[in-house]
């Protein structure tokens, strides 16, 4: 060994020792062969179906879900029902990822199940989910604004704190910009690791944000990592299935839009007009008591430099026409709630207009420049800590509270249809 090589050897030994004692492992960041990224969504009725998705290394073995009603789980292997998965290969900057998914059907409403995913080469830990009560009149769900982060530990602690404080939540919503670079699989590895223990116990219904289209080289892409991983209702318009969809839970109809015309319009021409036509039909067809719309970019901005005129012109009149109760938005990383708006004007009561709620941020990114806009009843820029929302439906009542991660309350409000 020459002097140069000797020095290099000593450097590597010292560096290795530092890593060892710092507890840092040097494993590769690609997929493992054991199932991970285990996640619940719905592609069908929340009372009788459950869609379960997971990731392995680039294997073509599809695997399966084994599941059993709680109470019978002690004889899991003997009593379990089986749902065979399908597998698709997702090519990423970290190599091929196998995305496995199965939809369980004919489940009993209001029932807790235990499940595991994989096959004989490797099973996940057992986890649980609970189906919706048929025509549920009382339930809650958690809403998270942008989780994009430079450190996904912040997203982890926000999500875990919210779930710990609301263990009875039936599902969660992520309002888009889940990761900072949506076409960088390293970010999804961090995001899923942070979400473990929540999205494998309650379904996540996500919204596409602009960052879902960003590539590591600064280009725009279709949000293929998003659509490959999140299995969602396929009732959206052609060209936007898996990004635009609607679903019902209890007496609430949720319509989910994709506002990323600036990024995706080159791939899906007229994507806002396509959604305008779809939303009109979607809302007209719903007879649910409550109507909620989820869209990443706001129709009414708190950043004065932004003005989403195009989005507002496309959707505001339809939201007025079908009296959507609440529109949840994201993108500007502030919490803000408007008075009920109709035609852009503040109304005295919720039966006369739609409340627009900017949902804040659940990751690290903050902005200094947003301000309270015309029509806001409350505005809070969560610079000090991330935040989340909890919505509870109870018959004629919709109650929404916004919390900082620490649990400090930002806002509490409700709509009472019985008094309208």
Neighbouring residues of 71: CB distance < 8 A, sequence distance ≥ 6: none
Residue among 411, 358, 403, 357 at smallest CA distance from 384: 403
Give dist(CA 192, CA 156) in Å, integer: 9
Query: E strands, 133-273, where?
Result: 138-144, 171-174, 204-206, 245-249, 252-256
Residue among 337, 336, 354 at smallest CA distance from 345: 354
210 lies in the binding site for Fe ion (CB under 5 A): yes
Mark the segment that binds Fe ion (CB under 5 A) among 16-24, 61-69, 176-184, 270-278.
176-184
Give 152 or 249: the residue with its C-beta nearer to Fe ion. Answer: 152
The bridge status of strand 81-84 relative to strand 86-92 is unpaired
46 lies in the binding site for Fe ion (CB under 5 A): no
187 lies in the binding site for Fe ion (CB under 5 A): no
Cα distances from 78 to residues 67, 115, 125, in angstroms, run 11, 13, 17
Asked whether 144 and 166 are in contact (CB, 8 A), the reply is no
Mark the segment that binds Fe ion (CB under 5 A) among 89-97, 202-210, 303-311, 334-342.
202-210
Mark the segment that binds Fe ion (CB under 5 A) among 210-218, 252-260, 380-388, 402-410.
210-218
365 lies in the binding site for Fe ion (CB under 5 A): no
- Identify the three-state secondary structure at position 344: coil
Mark the segment that binds Fe ion (CB under 5 A) among 64-72, 114-122, 204-212, 390-398.
204-212
260 lies in the binding site for Fe ion (CB under 5 A): no
Asked whether 166 and 138 are in contact (CB, 8 A), the reply is no
We find the least distance from the C-beta atom of residue 297 to Fe ion, in angstroms, to be: 7
We find the least distance from the C-beta atom of residue 176 to Fe ion, in angstroms, to be: 6
Give 36 or 177: the residue with its C-beta nearer to Fe ion. Answer: 177
Give dist(CA 332, CA 335) in Å, integer: 9
Cα distances from 317 to residues 300, 322, 348, in angstroms, run 13, 9, 19
Q: Which DSSP letter does residue 146 get? A: B
Exactly one of 209, 340, 363, 386 binds Fe ion (CB under 5 A); which one? 209
Give 35 or 298: the residue with its C-beta nearer to Fe ion. Answer: 298
The bridge status of strand 376-380 relative to strand 355-359 is unpaired
Give 367 or 413: the residue with its C-beta nearer to Fe ion. Answer: 367
233 lies in the binding site for Fe ion (CB under 5 A): no
376 lies in the binding site for Fe ion (CB under 5 A): no
We find the least distance from the C-beta atom of residue 177 to Fe ion, in angstroms, to be: 4
Cα 410 from chain centroid (whole Å) = 22
| Residues touching Fe ion, count (CB under 5 A) | 4
- Residue listed under structure tokens 């995001």: 191
361 lies in the binding site for Fe ion (CB under 5 A): no
What x/- string results for residues 277 through 316 when contact with Fe ion is judged by CB under 5 A?
A: ----------------------------------------
Mark the segment that binds Fe ion (CB under 5 A) among 153-161, 208-216, 304-312, 343-351.
208-216
Give 209 or 360: the residue with its C-beta nearer to Fe ion. Answer: 209
180 lies in the binding site for Fe ion (CB under 5 A): no
Give 211 or 337: the residue with its C-beta nearer to Fe ion. Answer: 211
Residue nearest to Fe ion (CB): 331
- Identify the three-state secondary structure at position 184: coil
Task: Read off the tokens for 273.
Answer: 């007009």
> What DSSP element (H or E) covers 32?
none
Strand partners for 380: 335
Asked whether 294 and 254 are in contact (CB, 8 A), the reply is yes
- Residue listed under structure tokens 């997971």: 54
66 lies in the binding site for Fe ion (CB under 5 A): no
Give dist(CA 144, CA 390) in Å, integer: 9
Give 40 or 208: the residue with its C-beta nearer to Fe ion. Answer: 208
206 lies in the binding site for Fe ion (CB under 5 A): no
100 lies in the binding site for Fe ion (CB under 5 A): no
- Mind giving me the DSSP string for 335-359? EEEEPPEETTEE-SSGGGSBEEEEE
What x/- string results for residues 16 through 45 when contact with Fe ion is judged by CB under 5 A?
A: ------------------------------
Asked whether 215 and 184 are in contact (CB, 8 A), the reply is yes
177 lies in the binding site for Fe ion (CB under 5 A): yes
Give 169 or 208: the residue with its C-beta nearer to Fe ion. Answer: 208
What x/- string results for residues 309 through 348 when contact with Fe ion is judged by CB under 5 A?
A: ----------------------x-----------------
Binding site for Fe ion (CB under 5 A): 177, 209-210, 331
């Amino acid at each position: 060994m020459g002097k140069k090589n000797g020095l290099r050897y000593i450097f590597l030994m010292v560096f290795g020792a530092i890593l060892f004692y710092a507890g840092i492992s040097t494993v590769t960041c690609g997929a493992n062969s054991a199932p991970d990224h285990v996640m619940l969504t719905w592609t069908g009725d929340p009372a009788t179906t459950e869609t379960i998705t997971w990731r392995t290394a680039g294997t073509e073995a599809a695997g399966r879900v084994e599941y059993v009603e709680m109470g019978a789980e002690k004889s899991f292997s003997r009593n379990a029902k089986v749902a065979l998965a399908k597998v698709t290969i997702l090519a990423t900057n970290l190599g091929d990822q196998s995305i496995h998914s199965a939809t369980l059907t004919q489940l009993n409403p209001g029932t807790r199940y235990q499940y595991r995913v994989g096959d004989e080469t490797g099973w996940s830990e057992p986890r649980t989910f609970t189906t919706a009560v048929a025509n549920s009149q009382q339930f809650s769900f958690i809403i998270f604004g942008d989780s994009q982060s430079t450190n996904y530990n912040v997203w982890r602690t926000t999500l875990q704190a919210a779930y710990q404080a609301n263990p009875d939540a039936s599902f969660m919503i992520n309002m888009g910009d889940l990761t900072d670079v949506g076409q960088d699989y390293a970010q999804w590895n961090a995001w899923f690791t942070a979400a473990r223990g929540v999205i494998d116990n309650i379904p996540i219904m996500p919204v596409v944000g602009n960052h879902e289209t960003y590539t590591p080289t600064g280009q725009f892409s279709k949000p293929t990592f998003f659509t490959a991983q999140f299995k969602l209702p396929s009732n959206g318009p052609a060209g936007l299935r898996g990004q635009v969809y609607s679903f019902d839970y209890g007496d609430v109809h949720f319509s989910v839009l994709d506002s990323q015309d600036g990024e995706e319009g080159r791939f899906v021409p007229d994507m806002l007009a396509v959604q305008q036509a779809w939303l009109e039909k979607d809302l007209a067809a719903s007879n649910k008591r409550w109507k909620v719309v989820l869209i990443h970019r706001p129709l009414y901005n708190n950043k004065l430099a932004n003005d989403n005129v195009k989005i507002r012109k496309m959707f505001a009149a339809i939201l007025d026409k079908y009296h959507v109760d609440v529109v949840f938005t994201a993108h500007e990383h502030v919490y803000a709630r408007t008075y009920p708006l109709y035609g852009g004007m503040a109304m005295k009561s919720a039966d006369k207009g739609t409340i627009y709620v900017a949902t804040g941020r659940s990751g690290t990114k903050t902005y200094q420049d947003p301000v309270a806009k015309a029509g806001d009843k409350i505005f809070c820029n969560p610079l000090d800590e991330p935040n989340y929302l909890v919505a509870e439906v109870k018959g004629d009542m919709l109650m929404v509270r916004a919390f900082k991660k620490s649990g400090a309350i930002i806002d509490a409000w409700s709509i009472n249809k019985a008094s309208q």
